[in-house]
């Protein structure tokens, strides 16, 4: 069984965390603006309960998944690596976290509780959670598509 999980699919399908009825601030806080890189991803197979965690320490190419939040309320995400980022290969499975040339963009705003709303050009939305962990700003996404629960953590540089 081949599984392919990419950063773009995470950004495009992160609808798990959302309550879109909360009041939003249309003036993003510049404290959160900047470049974020992917440092870990955990995938739990909902059918089997098997969990796999990948880190940028073990697979440095994961850090080539980068998201930039701009002060003007726009964002851009891209995989900037020269080659696809393979984090796992077995006889029956390939896991890629980042594909060459992948990118997306849209607008962002902070909502209640340090949640961040991402709106894509097609007007679909996804949500992430901002936290300060060990003095670093982290952005966490959860995705529940394709029989997996995926949690991705990006850290502000």
For 73-131, the pLDDT digits (tens) are 999 999 999 999 999 877 778 889 999 999 999 999 988 888 999 998 888 888 999 99
Predicted TM-score (pTM) of this structure = 0.77
Residues 6+ apart with CB under 8 A from 18: 117, 125, 126, 127
Q: Which residues contact 74 (CB under 8 A, 6 or more apart)?
A: 105, 106, 107, 108
Q: For the residues of 75-144, what is the DSSP string, one character each?
A: EEEEE--SS--EEEEETTEEEES--TT-EEEEEEEEEGGGEEEEEETTS-EEEEEEEEETTEEEEEEEE-
CA-only gyration radius of the chain, Å: 15
Encoding tokens for residue 113? 């509780």
pLDDT at 54 over 80: yes
Please choose, from the candidates 127, 151, 130, 141, the residue with its C-alpha nearest in 3D space to the C-alpha of residue 34: 130
């Amino acid at each position: 069984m081949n599984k392919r999980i990419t950063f773009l699919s995470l950004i495009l399908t992160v609808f798990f965390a959302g309550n879109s009825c909360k009041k939003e601030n249309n003036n993003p806080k510049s404290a959160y603006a900047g470049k974020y890189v992917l440092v870990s991803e955990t995938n739990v197979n909902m059918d089997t309960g098997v969990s796999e965690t990948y880190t940028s320490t073990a697979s440095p190419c994961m850090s080539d998944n980068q998201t930039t939040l701009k002060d003007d309320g726009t964002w851009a995400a891209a995989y900037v690596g020269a080659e696809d980022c393979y984090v796992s290969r077995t006889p029956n499975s390939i896991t890629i976290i980042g594909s060459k040339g992948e990118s997306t963009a849209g607008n962002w705003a902070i909502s209640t509780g340090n949640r961040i709303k991402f709106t894509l050009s097609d007007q679909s939305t996804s949500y992430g959670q901002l936290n300060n962990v060990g003095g670093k700003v982290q952005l966490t996404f959860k995705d529940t598509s394709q029989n997996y629960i995926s949690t991705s953590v990006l850290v502000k540089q």
